[in-house]
Structure 1
Amino acid sequence: MAVHTRILSVLEAFSNERPNLTLSQISRLTGLPKGTAHRIVSQLVNWGALERDERRHYVIGLKMFEIGTLAPRAYRHRARILPFLEEAAATTGADVMLAVLDRDEAVLVEHVAGRRAVTLAAGLGERLPLHASGVGHVMMAFGPSELLNLVCSRPLTAFTAQTITESSALRSAVARVRETGFALLPNAMIPGTVSVAAPIFAERGAFAGAILFVSPVVRTSVTMFGKTVRQTAHRISAALGNAEREDVRPMRTVVR
Protein backbone atom coordinates (compact mmCIF):
# COMPACT_ATOMS: atom_id res chain seq x y z
CA MET A 1 0.00 0.00 0.00
CA ALA A 2 1.41 3.39 -1.02
CA VAL A 3 2.30 5.86 1.72
CA HIS A 4 -0.33 8.41 0.68
CA THR A 5 -2.99 5.68 0.67
CA ARG A 6 -2.04 4.74 4.23
CA ILE A 7 -2.26 8.37 5.33
CA LEU A 8 -5.69 8.76 3.74
CA SER A 9 -6.90 5.53 5.33
CA VAL A 10 -5.96 6.89 8.76
CA LEU A 11 -7.89 10.11 8.15
CA GLU A 12 -10.87 8.20 6.77
CA ALA A 13 -11.03 6.14 9.98
CA PHE A 14 -12.55 9.19 11.67
CA SER A 15 -16.24 9.93 11.23
CA ASN A 16 -19.16 11.56 13.02
CA GLU A 17 -19.75 8.22 14.73
CA ARG A 18 -16.02 7.89 15.55
CA PRO A 19 -14.71 11.42 16.26
CA ASN A 20 -11.98 10.24 18.62
CA LEU A 21 -9.89 7.07 18.32
CA THR A 22 -7.09 5.30 20.12
CA LEU A 23 -4.04 4.05 18.26
CA SER A 24 -5.32 0.48 18.57
CA GLN A 25 -8.66 1.47 17.05
CA ILE A 26 -6.94 3.26 14.17
CA SER A 27 -4.82 0.18 13.52
CA ARG A 28 -7.88 -2.06 13.52
CA LEU A 29 -10.02 0.19 11.33
CA THR A 30 -7.30 0.74 8.73
CA GLY A 31 -5.81 -2.74 8.79
CA LEU A 32 -2.36 -1.22 9.32
CA PRO A 33 0.16 -2.81 11.70
CA LYS A 34 0.25 -0.90 14.97
CA GLY A 35 3.83 0.25 14.38
CA THR A 36 2.96 1.61 10.94
CA ALA A 37 -0.18 3.29 12.27
CA HIS A 38 1.85 4.88 15.09
CA ARG A 39 4.39 6.30 12.64
CA ILE A 40 1.73 7.79 10.37
CA VAL A 41 -0.31 9.16 13.27
CA SER A 42 2.79 10.80 14.75
CA GLN A 43 3.50 12.51 11.43
CA LEU A 44 -0.09 13.73 11.19
CA VAL A 45 0.04 15.08 14.76
CA ASN A 46 3.29 16.94 14.05
CA TRP A 47 1.74 18.50 10.94
CA GLY A 48 -1.51 19.42 12.72
CA ALA A 49 -3.93 17.11 10.92
CA LEU A 50 -4.52 15.18 14.17
CA GLU A 51 -4.51 16.25 17.81
CA ARG A 52 -4.87 14.55 21.21
CA ASP A 53 -7.95 15.21 23.35
CA GLU A 54 -8.20 15.26 27.14
CA ARG A 55 -8.31 11.45 27.20
CA ARG A 56 -5.25 11.27 24.96
CA HIS A 57 -7.34 9.92 22.11
CA TYR A 58 -6.68 11.16 18.60
CA VAL A 59 -9.06 13.67 16.99
CA ILE A 60 -9.06 15.67 13.76
CA GLY A 61 -6.85 18.76 14.16
CA LEU A 62 -7.48 22.41 13.39
CA LYS A 63 -5.18 22.23 10.36
CA MET A 64 -7.74 20.04 8.63
CA PHE A 65 -10.50 22.50 9.51
CA GLU A 66 -8.49 25.38 8.06
CA ILE A 67 -7.96 23.50 4.82
CA GLY A 68 -11.60 22.40 4.70
CA THR A 69 -12.84 25.98 4.78
CA LEU A 70 -11.05 26.55 1.47
CA ALA A 71 -13.37 24.12 -0.36
CA PRO A 72 -14.87 26.45 -3.00
CA ARG A 73 -18.27 24.78 -3.22
CA ALA A 74 -18.73 25.09 0.54
CA TYR A 75 -17.50 28.58 1.33
CA ARG A 76 -16.58 30.48 -1.82
CA HIS A 77 -19.60 32.76 -1.58
CA ARG A 78 -20.52 32.14 2.06
CA ALA A 79 -20.81 35.84 2.90
CA ARG A 80 -23.33 36.33 0.08
CA ILE A 81 -25.44 33.28 0.90
CA LEU A 82 -25.57 33.27 4.71
CA PRO A 83 -27.85 36.33 5.12
CA PHE A 84 -30.53 34.64 2.99
CA LEU A 85 -30.34 31.48 5.10
CA GLU A 86 -30.58 33.47 8.32
CA GLU A 87 -33.58 35.41 7.03
CA ALA A 88 -35.34 32.20 5.98
CA ALA A 89 -34.71 30.60 9.39
CA ALA A 90 -36.12 33.67 11.13
CA THR A 91 -39.18 33.76 8.84
CA THR A 92 -40.09 30.06 8.98
CA GLY A 93 -38.60 28.95 12.29
CA ALA A 94 -37.16 25.95 10.46
CA ASP A 95 -33.59 24.74 10.41
CA VAL A 96 -32.22 26.02 7.11
CA MET A 97 -29.35 24.28 5.33
CA LEU A 98 -27.39 24.43 2.12
CA ALA A 99 -26.28 21.26 0.35
CA VAL A 100 -24.03 20.51 -2.61
CA LEU A 101 -23.75 17.37 -4.71
CA ASP A 102 -20.72 15.15 -4.22
CA ARG A 103 -20.84 12.20 -6.62
CA ASP A 104 -24.10 10.51 -5.61
CA GLU A 105 -24.65 12.06 -2.19
CA ALA A 106 -25.71 15.43 -0.82
CA VAL A 107 -23.27 17.13 1.56
CA LEU A 108 -24.52 19.77 3.99
CA VAL A 109 -22.14 22.73 3.83
CA GLU A 110 -24.09 25.37 5.77
CA HIS A 111 -26.62 25.25 8.62
CA VAL A 112 -28.62 27.93 10.41
CA ALA A 113 -30.59 26.61 13.37
CA GLY A 114 -34.26 27.54 13.62
CA ARG A 115 -36.44 28.07 16.66
CA ARG A 116 -38.46 24.89 16.21
CA ALA A 117 -37.22 21.79 18.03
CA VAL A 118 -36.53 19.23 15.32
CA THR A 119 -34.42 16.10 14.96
CA LEU A 120 -32.08 16.25 11.98
CA ALA A 121 -31.04 13.31 9.82
CA ALA A 122 -27.62 14.90 9.27
CA GLY A 123 -25.63 17.89 10.46
CA LEU A 124 -23.03 20.22 9.03
CA GLY A 125 -20.47 18.35 6.95
CA GLU A 126 -22.56 15.17 6.89
CA ARG A 127 -24.17 13.42 3.94
CA LEU A 128 -27.73 12.63 2.93
CA PRO A 129 -28.87 9.87 0.55
CA LEU A 130 -30.49 11.28 -2.54
CA HIS A 131 -33.56 9.05 -2.67
CA ALA A 132 -34.69 9.86 0.89
CA SER A 133 -33.95 13.58 1.20
CA GLY A 134 -35.53 16.74 -0.14
CA VAL A 135 -32.20 18.05 -1.40
CA GLY A 136 -31.59 14.71 -3.06
CA HIS A 137 -34.84 14.90 -5.03
CA VAL A 138 -33.92 18.42 -6.10
CA MET A 139 -30.48 17.28 -7.21
CA MET A 140 -31.93 14.44 -9.27
CA ALA A 141 -34.48 16.81 -10.81
CA PHE A 142 -32.13 19.66 -11.72
CA GLY A 143 -28.61 18.22 -11.45
CA PRO A 144 -26.70 15.93 -13.84
CA SER A 145 -29.00 14.09 -16.23
CA GLU A 146 -27.56 10.66 -15.38
CA LEU A 147 -28.02 11.05 -11.62
CA LEU A 148 -31.58 9.74 -11.37
CA ASN A 149 -30.77 6.62 -13.39
CA LEU A 150 -27.71 5.98 -11.21
CA VAL A 151 -29.73 6.18 -7.99
CA CYS A 152 -32.54 4.04 -9.40
CA SER A 153 -30.09 1.35 -10.47
CA ARG A 154 -29.31 0.45 -6.85
CA PRO A 155 -31.35 -0.74 -3.87
CA LEU A 156 -33.10 2.15 -2.10
CA THR A 157 -32.70 1.92 1.67
CA ALA A 158 -35.79 2.43 3.83
CA PHE A 159 -35.22 4.77 6.78
CA THR A 160 -38.90 5.01 7.75
CA ALA A 161 -42.17 3.50 6.57
CA GLN A 162 -42.59 6.49 4.22
CA THR A 163 -39.17 6.36 2.56
CA ILE A 164 -39.46 5.82 -1.20
CA THR A 165 -37.90 2.45 -2.00
CA GLU A 166 -39.29 1.75 -5.49
CA SER A 167 -37.54 3.25 -8.52
CA SER A 168 -40.82 3.96 -10.32
CA ALA A 169 -42.14 5.93 -7.33
CA LEU A 170 -38.85 7.81 -7.10
CA ARG A 171 -39.00 8.77 -10.78
CA SER A 172 -42.55 10.05 -10.30
CA ALA A 173 -41.53 12.08 -7.24
CA VAL A 174 -38.59 13.65 -9.07
CA ALA A 175 -40.85 14.51 -12.02
CA ARG A 176 -43.17 16.39 -9.62
CA VAL A 177 -40.18 18.34 -8.30
CA ARG A 178 -39.34 19.43 -11.85
CA GLU A 179 -42.92 20.64 -12.31
CA THR A 180 -43.34 22.47 -8.99
CA GLY A 181 -39.78 23.72 -8.52
CA PHE A 182 -39.41 22.33 -5.01
CA ALA A 183 -39.39 19.03 -3.10
CA LEU A 184 -41.55 18.16 -0.11
CA LEU A 185 -40.74 14.99 1.84
CA PRO A 186 -42.57 14.27 5.11
CA ASN A 187 -41.28 11.52 7.40
CA ALA A 188 -38.83 10.24 4.78
CA MET A 189 -35.79 9.92 7.06
CA ILE A 190 -36.89 11.00 10.54
CA PRO A 191 -40.49 10.38 11.66
CA GLY A 192 -42.31 13.58 12.53
CA THR A 193 -40.16 15.85 10.38
CA VAL A 194 -40.61 17.29 6.91
CA SER A 195 -37.94 18.55 4.53
CA VAL A 196 -38.65 21.18 1.88
CA ALA A 197 -35.95 21.93 -0.69
CA ALA A 198 -35.39 23.98 -3.84
CA PRO A 199 -32.58 24.24 -6.41
CA ILE A 200 -29.90 26.93 -6.52
CA PHE A 201 -28.29 27.95 -9.79
CA ALA A 202 -25.18 29.96 -10.56
CA GLU A 203 -23.91 31.73 -13.67
CA ARG A 204 -25.57 30.63 -16.95
CA GLY A 205 -28.06 28.48 -15.08
CA ALA A 206 -25.50 25.93 -13.87
CA PHE A 207 -26.87 23.82 -11.01
CA ALA A 208 -25.04 24.80 -7.81
CA GLY A 209 -26.84 22.98 -5.00
CA ALA A 210 -30.03 23.08 -2.96
CA ILE A 211 -31.48 24.94 -0.01
CA LEU A 212 -33.29 22.86 2.61
CA PHE A 213 -35.84 23.65 5.33
CA VAL A 214 -36.40 21.03 8.06
CA SER A 215 -39.30 21.38 10.48
CA PRO A 216 -41.75 19.30 12.54
CA VAL A 217 -44.55 18.02 10.30
CA VAL A 218 -47.31 19.24 12.61
CA ARG A 219 -46.00 22.83 12.56
CA THR A 220 -45.32 23.16 8.85
CA SER A 221 -47.43 25.14 6.42
CA VAL A 222 -46.75 23.48 3.08
CA THR A 223 -47.97 26.51 1.14
CA MET A 224 -45.83 28.98 3.08
CA PHE A 225 -42.72 26.77 3.15
CA GLY A 226 -42.97 25.98 -0.56
CA LYS A 227 -43.26 29.66 -1.44
CA THR A 228 -40.47 30.74 0.92
CA VAL A 229 -38.00 28.05 -0.12
CA ARG A 230 -38.45 28.93 -3.80
CA GLN A 231 -38.11 32.65 -3.13
CA THR A 232 -34.98 32.12 -1.05
CA ALA A 233 -33.44 29.84 -3.66
CA HIS A 234 -34.18 32.39 -6.38
CA ARG A 235 -32.52 35.20 -4.40
CA ILE A 236 -29.45 33.08 -3.68
CA SER A 237 -29.22 32.12 -7.37
CA ALA A 238 -29.34 35.79 -8.33
CA ALA A 239 -26.58 36.58 -5.82
CA LEU A 240 -24.41 33.75 -7.12
CA GLY A 241 -24.93 34.83 -10.70
CA ASN A 242 -23.84 38.36 -9.84
CA ALA A 243 -20.85 37.03 -7.93
CA GLU A 244 -19.69 34.95 -10.89
CA ARG A 245 -19.93 37.94 -13.21
CA GLU A 246 -17.90 40.03 -10.81
CA ASP A 247 -15.27 37.29 -10.51
CA VAL A 248 -14.70 37.11 -14.27
CA ARG A 249 -15.25 40.76 -15.13
CA PRO A 250 -12.34 41.81 -17.39
CA MET A 251 -10.32 44.96 -16.87
CA ARG A 252 -11.34 47.76 -19.20
CA THR A 253 -8.75 48.91 -21.68
CA VAL A 254 -8.88 52.51 -22.77
CA VAL A 255 -7.98 52.99 -26.43
CA ARG A 256 -6.73 56.42 -27.37
Structure 2
Amino acid sequence: MKAKQLFFDTMKYIVLLIGTFVVFFPLYSVFVGAFKTRQEFYINRLSLPSTWNFENFSIAWEKGDLALGLGNTLFILIVSIVGNVLIGSMSAYALGRFDFKGKNLIIGSYLVAAVIPLITTQVVTYSVIKALGLYNTYGAPIVLYLGADVIQLVIYLQFIRNIPYELDESAMMEGASLFKIFRSIIFPLLGPATATVVILKFISIYNDFYVPYLYMPDRGLRTVATAIQSFVGPNAARMEVISAYILLIFIPTIVMFLFMQRYIFSGVTSGAVKS
Protein backbone atom coordinates (compact mmCIF):
# COMPACT_ATOMS: atom_id res chain seq x y z
CA MET A 1 0.00 0.00 0.00
CA LYS A 2 2.86 2.34 0.92
CA ALA A 3 4.71 1.41 -2.26
CA LYS A 4 1.62 2.17 -4.34
CA GLN A 5 1.14 5.54 -2.63
CA LEU A 6 4.84 6.34 -3.11
CA PHE A 7 4.54 5.51 -6.82
CA PHE A 8 1.53 7.82 -7.31
CA ASP A 9 3.20 10.63 -5.33
CA THR A 10 6.35 10.27 -7.41
CA MET A 11 4.39 10.34 -10.68
CA LYS A 12 2.44 13.37 -9.46
CA TYR A 13 5.60 15.36 -8.83
CA ILE A 14 7.16 14.23 -12.09
CA VAL A 15 4.10 15.48 -14.01
CA LEU A 16 4.23 18.78 -12.08
CA LEU A 17 7.92 19.19 -12.86
CA ILE A 18 7.33 18.49 -16.55
CA GLY A 19 4.45 20.99 -16.61
CA THR A 20 6.59 23.62 -14.87
CA PHE A 21 9.40 23.07 -17.37
CA VAL A 22 7.03 23.35 -20.34
CA VAL A 23 5.64 26.66 -19.02
CA PHE A 24 8.86 28.33 -17.86
CA PHE A 25 11.43 27.11 -20.38
CA PRO A 26 10.18 29.35 -23.25
CA LEU A 27 10.08 32.33 -20.87
CA TYR A 28 13.64 31.63 -19.72
CA SER A 29 14.82 31.25 -23.32
CA VAL A 30 13.27 34.59 -24.33
CA PHE A 31 14.59 36.36 -21.24
CA VAL A 32 18.24 35.32 -21.59
CA GLY A 33 18.14 35.74 -25.38
CA ALA A 34 16.95 39.33 -25.09
CA PHE A 35 20.20 40.41 -23.40
CA LYS A 36 22.65 38.68 -25.75
CA THR A 37 24.49 39.86 -28.83
CA ARG A 38 23.66 38.10 -32.10
CA GLN A 39 26.87 36.08 -32.04
CA GLU A 40 26.43 35.00 -28.44
CA PHE A 41 22.80 34.08 -29.06
CA TYR A 42 23.65 31.59 -31.79
CA ILE A 43 26.66 30.15 -29.97
CA ASN A 44 24.72 29.16 -26.87
CA ARG A 45 21.06 30.08 -26.69
CA LEU A 46 20.37 28.79 -23.19
CA SER A 47 23.31 30.11 -21.19
CA LEU A 48 23.18 33.36 -19.27
CA PRO A 49 24.64 36.30 -21.23
CA SER A 50 28.30 37.05 -20.53
CA THR A 51 27.48 40.78 -20.61
CA TRP A 52 23.95 42.16 -20.26
CA ASN A 53 23.25 43.89 -23.57
CA PHE A 54 20.36 46.42 -23.54
CA GLU A 55 20.81 47.59 -27.12
CA ASN A 56 18.33 45.01 -28.37
CA PHE A 57 15.53 46.79 -26.50
CA SER A 58 16.25 50.16 -28.08
CA ILE A 59 16.32 48.56 -31.55
CA ALA A 60 13.01 46.79 -30.92
CA TRP A 61 11.42 49.98 -29.59
CA GLU A 62 12.61 52.24 -32.42
CA LYS A 63 12.29 49.95 -35.44
CA GLY A 64 9.36 47.80 -34.39
CA ASP A 65 6.58 50.42 -34.16
CA LEU A 66 6.22 49.36 -30.55
CA ALA A 67 5.24 52.81 -29.24
CA LEU A 68 2.58 53.04 -31.96
CA GLY A 69 1.34 49.53 -31.23
CA LEU A 70 1.12 50.14 -27.50
CA GLY A 71 -0.71 53.44 -28.01
CA ASN A 72 -3.28 51.93 -30.36
CA THR A 73 -3.73 48.90 -28.14
CA LEU A 74 -4.18 51.06 -25.04
CA PHE A 75 -6.85 53.19 -26.73
CA ILE A 76 -8.76 50.12 -27.94
CA LEU A 77 -8.43 48.50 -24.51
CA ILE A 78 -9.80 51.47 -22.58
CA VAL A 79 -12.81 52.10 -24.82
CA SER A 80 -13.61 48.40 -25.28
CA ILE A 81 -13.31 47.42 -21.63
CA VAL A 82 -15.36 50.38 -20.34
CA GLY A 83 -18.14 49.65 -22.83
CA ASN A 84 -17.90 45.90 -22.28
CA VAL A 85 -18.17 46.21 -18.50
CA LEU A 86 -21.21 48.50 -18.79
CA ILE A 87 -23.00 46.26 -21.30
CA GLY A 88 -22.09 43.05 -19.47
CA SER A 89 -23.09 44.27 -16.00
CA MET A 90 -26.37 45.78 -17.24
CA SER A 91 -27.23 42.59 -19.15
CA ALA A 92 -26.52 40.47 -16.08
CA TYR A 93 -28.58 42.86 -13.92
CA ALA A 94 -31.59 42.46 -16.21
CA LEU A 95 -31.21 38.69 -16.45
CA GLY A 96 -30.43 38.15 -12.78
CA ARG A 97 -32.96 40.51 -11.19
CA PHE A 98 -36.09 40.30 -13.36
CA ASP A 99 -38.34 37.55 -14.70
CA PHE A 100 -39.68 38.07 -18.21
CA LYS A 101 -40.64 36.05 -21.27
CA GLY A 102 -37.66 34.91 -23.28
CA LYS A 103 -35.20 35.22 -20.39
CA ASN A 104 -34.06 31.60 -20.60
CA LEU A 105 -33.89 31.90 -24.39
CA ILE A 106 -31.49 34.84 -24.08
CA ILE A 107 -29.25 32.98 -21.61
CA GLY A 108 -29.34 29.93 -23.89
CA SER A 109 -28.36 32.10 -26.85
CA TYR A 110 -25.23 33.18 -25.00
CA LEU A 111 -24.32 29.53 -24.42
CA VAL A 112 -24.95 28.60 -28.06
CA ALA A 113 -22.89 31.57 -29.30
CA ALA A 114 -20.00 30.46 -27.09
CA VAL A 115 -19.69 27.08 -28.85
CA ILE A 116 -19.94 28.39 -32.42
CA PRO A 117 -16.44 28.54 -33.99
CA LEU A 118 -15.48 32.16 -34.59
CA ILE A 119 -14.17 31.45 -38.09
CA THR A 120 -17.60 30.30 -39.29
CA THR A 121 -19.11 33.76 -38.74
CA GLN A 122 -16.30 35.87 -40.15
CA VAL A 123 -17.71 36.28 -43.67
CA VAL A 124 -20.90 37.82 -42.27
CA THR A 125 -19.03 39.81 -39.62
CA TYR A 126 -16.62 41.20 -42.19
CA SER A 127 -19.53 42.24 -44.44
CA VAL A 128 -21.27 44.01 -41.54
CA ILE A 129 -18.11 45.87 -40.54
CA LYS A 130 -17.58 46.99 -44.14
CA ALA A 131 -21.22 48.08 -44.48
CA LEU A 132 -20.97 50.16 -41.30
CA GLY A 133 -17.91 51.94 -42.64
CA LEU A 134 -15.76 50.72 -39.75
CA TYR A 135 -13.21 48.77 -41.78
CA ASN A 136 -9.66 50.03 -41.24
CA THR A 137 -10.72 52.19 -38.29
CA TYR A 138 -10.52 51.84 -34.50
CA GLY A 139 -14.26 51.26 -34.54
CA ALA A 140 -14.01 47.76 -35.98
CA PRO A 141 -12.24 46.04 -33.07
CA ILE A 142 -14.02 48.20 -30.49
CA VAL A 143 -17.46 47.14 -31.79
CA LEU A 144 -16.39 43.48 -31.88
CA TYR A 145 -14.96 43.60 -28.34
CA LEU A 146 -17.93 45.41 -26.79
CA GLY A 147 -20.25 42.42 -26.63
CA ALA A 148 -20.56 40.51 -23.35
CA ASP A 149 -19.55 36.84 -23.53
CA VAL A 150 -20.94 33.94 -21.53
CA ILE A 151 -18.02 33.82 -19.05
CA GLN A 152 -18.49 37.49 -18.22
CA LEU A 153 -22.24 36.98 -17.86
CA VAL A 154 -21.77 34.02 -15.50
CA ILE A 155 -19.32 35.96 -13.31
CA TYR A 156 -21.72 38.88 -12.95
CA LEU A 157 -24.77 36.65 -12.44
CA GLN A 158 -23.04 34.82 -9.59
CA PHE A 159 -22.64 38.09 -7.74
CA ILE A 160 -25.99 39.67 -8.60
CA ARG A 161 -27.96 36.61 -7.46
CA ASN A 162 -26.29 36.85 -4.03
CA ILE A 163 -27.03 40.54 -3.51
CA PRO A 164 -30.13 40.74 -1.25
CA TYR A 165 -33.19 41.89 -3.17
CA GLU A 166 -34.22 43.82 -0.07
CA LEU A 167 -31.69 46.47 -1.07
CA ASP A 168 -33.60 47.05 -4.30
CA GLU A 169 -36.93 47.19 -2.48
CA SER A 170 -35.61 49.71 0.05
CA ALA A 171 -34.31 51.92 -2.75
CA MET A 172 -37.63 51.67 -4.62
CA MET A 173 -39.48 52.78 -1.51
CA GLU A 174 -37.25 55.86 -1.48
CA GLY A 175 -38.30 56.58 -5.07
CA ALA A 176 -35.13 55.37 -6.81
CA SER A 177 -35.44 54.36 -10.45
CA LEU A 178 -34.11 51.04 -11.74
CA PHE A 179 -31.15 52.79 -13.33
CA LYS A 180 -30.29 54.56 -10.08
CA ILE A 181 -30.55 51.28 -8.17
CA PHE A 182 -28.12 49.71 -10.62
CA ARG A 183 -25.75 52.69 -10.58
CA SER A 184 -25.77 53.36 -6.84
CA ILE A 185 -26.28 49.91 -5.29
CA ILE A 186 -25.72 46.99 -7.65
CA PHE A 187 -22.71 48.12 -9.69
CA PRO A 188 -20.56 49.18 -6.67
CA LEU A 189 -21.16 45.74 -5.12
CA LEU A 190 -19.93 44.10 -8.33
CA GLY A 191 -16.39 45.40 -7.73
CA PRO A 192 -14.59 42.01 -7.46
CA ALA A 193 -16.52 40.66 -10.46
CA THR A 194 -15.70 43.77 -12.49
CA ALA A 195 -12.00 43.49 -11.59
CA THR A 196 -12.02 39.89 -12.81
CA VAL A 197 -13.75 40.83 -16.06
CA VAL A 198 -11.27 43.68 -16.64
CA ILE A 199 -8.30 41.34 -16.19
CA LEU A 200 -9.71 38.64 -18.47
CA LYS A 201 -10.72 41.16 -21.15
CA PHE A 202 -7.39 42.96 -20.92
CA ILE A 203 -5.43 39.78 -21.55
CA SER A 204 -7.80 38.64 -24.31
CA ILE A 205 -7.79 41.95 -26.23
CA TYR A 206 -4.09 42.65 -25.66
CA ASN A 207 -3.08 39.27 -27.07
CA ASP A 208 -5.60 39.20 -29.92
CA PHE A 209 -4.01 39.08 -33.36
CA TYR A 210 -6.84 37.97 -35.60
CA VAL A 211 -9.22 40.94 -35.26
CA PRO A 212 -6.63 43.74 -35.69
CA TYR A 213 -4.93 41.88 -38.53
CA LEU A 214 -8.19 41.35 -40.43
CA TYR A 215 -9.97 44.64 -39.77
CA MET A 216 -7.12 47.16 -39.34
CA PRO A 217 -4.47 46.50 -42.03
CA ASP A 218 -3.25 50.11 -42.12
CA ARG A 219 0.24 50.56 -40.63
CA GLY A 220 -0.88 53.48 -38.50
CA LEU A 221 -3.47 51.25 -36.81
CA ARG A 222 -1.14 48.47 -35.73
CA THR A 223 -1.54 46.94 -32.28
CA VAL A 224 1.23 45.16 -30.37
CA ALA A 225 0.18 41.83 -31.90
CA THR A 226 0.26 43.02 -35.52
CA ALA A 227 3.32 45.21 -34.91
CA ILE A 228 5.43 42.26 -33.79
CA GLN A 229 4.19 40.17 -36.72
CA SER A 230 5.30 42.90 -39.14
CA PHE A 231 8.62 43.28 -37.34
CA VAL A 232 9.49 39.57 -37.30
CA GLY A 233 9.20 39.16 -41.09
CA PRO A 234 12.21 41.25 -42.18
CA ASN A 235 14.11 40.56 -38.94
CA ALA A 236 13.66 36.80 -38.67
CA ALA A 237 17.44 36.24 -38.35
CA ARG A 238 17.76 38.67 -35.43
CA MET A 239 16.33 36.44 -32.76
CA GLU A 240 17.97 38.38 -29.94
CA VAL A 241 16.07 41.54 -30.98
CA ILE A 242 12.84 39.57 -31.40
CA SER A 243 13.33 38.18 -27.88
CA ALA A 244 13.73 41.74 -26.56
CA TYR A 245 10.55 42.75 -28.42
CA ILE A 246 8.62 39.85 -26.88
CA LEU A 247 9.91 40.75 -23.43
CA LEU A 248 8.79 44.35 -23.84
CA ILE A 249 5.23 43.42 -24.79
CA PHE A 250 5.11 40.97 -21.87
CA ILE A 251 5.56 43.78 -19.35
CA PRO A 252 2.02 45.30 -19.36
CA THR A 253 0.38 41.89 -19.01
CA ILE A 254 2.72 40.80 -16.21
CA VAL A 255 2.26 44.06 -14.30
CA MET A 256 -1.53 43.87 -14.70
CA PHE A 257 -1.60 40.28 -13.49
CA LEU A 258 0.72 40.79 -10.50
CA PHE A 259 -1.27 43.74 -9.18
CA MET A 260 -4.73 42.23 -9.71
CA GLN A 261 -4.26 38.45 -9.56
CA ARG A 262 -6.04 38.14 -6.20
CA TYR A 263 -9.23 39.42 -7.82
CA ILE A 264 -9.30 36.60 -10.41
CA PHE A 265 -9.95 33.85 -7.86
CA SER A 266 -12.13 36.12 -5.72
CA GLY A 267 -14.22 37.29 -8.66
CA VAL A 268 -14.82 33.81 -10.06
CA THR A 269 -15.60 32.04 -6.77
CA SER A 270 -16.99 34.60 -4.32
CA GLY A 271 -20.42 34.69 -5.92
CA ALA A 272 -20.58 30.94 -6.36
CA VAL A 273 -21.51 30.18 -2.73
CA LYS A 274 -24.57 31.59 -1.06
CA SER A 275 -24.04 33.17 2.31
Structure 1 length normalisation: TM-score? 0.23
* Structure with higher RCO (Cα < 8 A, 6+ apart): 2
More helix by share: 2
Of structures 1 and 2, the larger Rg is shown by 2
